[in-house]
Amino acid sequence: MTETPDAAFWICATCGVEHADRPAVCAICADERQYVPATGQRWTTLAELAEAGAEVGFTELEPGLWGLRVRPAMVGIGQESKLLVTDAGALLWDPPAFLDDAAVARVRELAGERGVVAVVASHPHMFGVQVEWSHRLGGVPVLVSRADLDWVARPDAAVDGWEGDREILPGVTMTQPGGHFPGSAVVHWAGGADGHGVLLSGDTIFANPDRTSVSFMRSYPNRIPLSGQVVERVAAHVGRFAFARLYNNFDGVVPQDAYDVVQRSAHRHAAWVRGDFDHLT
């Protein structure tokens, strides 16, 4: 039987994605790209998280770009959401799995008079409480890659499918190279990095700890690779844009020469899975 919590929806404690009801297991976590913890499925609510001391912290990453992170890390996979602010409005990217009055007020303050124009996740693992963010920001659109709409677990009139390239703000283009999920999306911000361009890559393209290479995976926690052909397709897709810096959906960043880093890393990935370097193993 489905129970209704005080906030009228449930949040999976592992992936942080909102659900209209409470199934036995979160479908996103049961998928091979994610996992259900050994301790089993656990559900939570905004009220429970707030009582436990959750809050959203804000960090300025560069002028016009803010990182948002739920702290302490008690829900979701610890991702760093992004708020991209331009003179024409703001984009809330990979929305947090928690919100409260203070977080909403801070987002509104940073977004300025034009406000947040849309809430968008790079892929289903990053949905967070996207519908709740929409409601609290005045019903702004929740844009979901059309190929991944079936993963939405809290349907709402604000949810709308999109595909291809979409200029959501002047100089800010969303596009879907796929890979990690069929609809996996990235954001190109032409004005970022002092006008040299920024790519918000989610984990479609994942900045590595060395800050000079990136990775491409179907599943990061379960170590499922993508084929070399798919990786080179993803790199070619984003290669249509100019960017000097790349941010993933955690705190990973390629601070410079990111375009070349992506292309070089894709060719390296393809060469390894093709067997070019088997003599090193």
Domain extent listing, the chain: 10-38+55-276
What does each of the 281 residues of the chain score in pLDDT, given as a tens digit?
234 444 589 999 999 999 999 999 999 999 999 999 999 999 999 999 999 999 999 999 999 999 999 998 889 888 999 999 999 999 999 999 999 999 999 999 999 999 999 999 999 999 999 999 999 999 999 999 999 999 999 999 999 999 999 999 999 999 999 999 999 999 999 999 999 999 999 999 999 999 999 999 999 999 999 999 999 999 999 999 999 999 999 999 999 999 999 999 999 999 999 999 999 99
Q: How many CA atoms lie within 13 A of 61 on its CB side?
A: 28
> Collapsing DSSP states into helix, strand and coil, what is residue 81?
strand
Q: Report pTM.
A: 0.95
Alpha helix positions (H), 177-257: 192-195, 228-238
- Options 3.60.15.10, 3.40.367.20, 3.30.70.260, 3.40.225.10; CATH for 10-38+55-276 is 3.60.15.10
Contact 61, 207 (CB under 8 A): no
Q: How many CA atoms lie within 13 A of 261 on its CB side?
A: 23
> What does the alpha-carbon distance between residue 258 and residue 262 come to, in Å, rounded to a whole number?
6
Q: Comparing C-alpha atoms, which of 226, 233, 261, 258 is closest to residue 245?
A: 258
